[in-house]
Amino acid sequence: MDNNIVLQVRNIEKSFPGVKALDKINFAVKKGTVHALCGENGAGKSTLMKIINGIYRPDSGEVLVKGQVVDITSAMQARKLGISMINQELNFVPEMTVAENFFLGKWPTTAGGRLAWRQMRQRAKQLLEENNLPYSLDTKLKDLSISDIQLLEITKATADNADVIIMDEPTSAISDKEVDVLFDKIRELRSRGTSVIYISHKLDEVFEIADEITVMRDGKVIETRPANQFDKNTVIALMVGRELSDTYPKEHVPVGKEVFRVQNLTRRGVFHSISFHVKAGEIVGIAGLVGAGRTEVLRALFGLDPYDSGEILVNGRSVRVRTPVDSIANGVIMLSEDRRRYGIVPVRSVKENVTITRLEEFIYNGRWHRQKEIDRVSELCQRMNVKTPSINTDISALSGGNQQKVVLAKWMVRDPLVFLLDEPTRGIDVGAKYEIYKLMTTLAREGKGIVMVSSELPELVGMCDRIYVMAEGKIQGELQRSEFSQEAIMHLAVGQ
How does residue 431 score in pLDDT terms, banded at 50, 70 and 90? confident
pLDDT tens column, 11-32 = 999 987 667 889 999 999 999 9
- Cα–Cα nearest to 124, from 142, 143, 146, 139: 139
Contact call for residues 451 and 286 (beta carbons, < 8 A): yes
- Cα–Cα nearest to 477, from 464, 493, 465: 493
Q: Please, what is the end-to-end C-alpha distance for the chain in angstroms?
A: 57
The CATH number given to 258-493 is 3.40.50.300
- Rounded to whole angstroms, how far apart are CA atoms 199 and 227? 14
- Res. 267: pLDDT tops 90: yes
87: CB partners within 8 A, 6+ apart: 153, 168
The CATH number given to 5-95+140-240 is 3.40.50.300
pLDDT tens column, 53-104 = 998 999 999 999 999 999 999 988 998 899 988 876 666 788 888 888 888 7
Domains 5-95+140-240 and 258-493 share a fold: yes
pLDDT tens column, 353-401 = 999 988 888 888 888 899 999 999 999 888 888 888 889 999 988 877 8
- Res. 194: pLDDT tops 80: yes
Phi, psi angle pair for 186, to nearest 5° = -65, -45
- Cα–Cα nearest to 67, from 6, 154, 146: 6
- Res. 463: pLDDT tops 90: yes
- Rounded to whole angstroms, how far apart are CA atoms 341 and 20? 27
Decide: residue 200, CB within 10 A, 0-12 exposed, 13-18 middle, 19+ buried.
Answer: buried
Phi, psi angle pair for 146, to nearest 5° = -60, -40
**Where do the structural domains in the chain lie, given as residue ranges?**
5-95+140-240, 258-493
Q: Give the CA radius of gyration of the chain.
A: 23
Q: What is the largest CA-CA distance in the chain?
A: 73
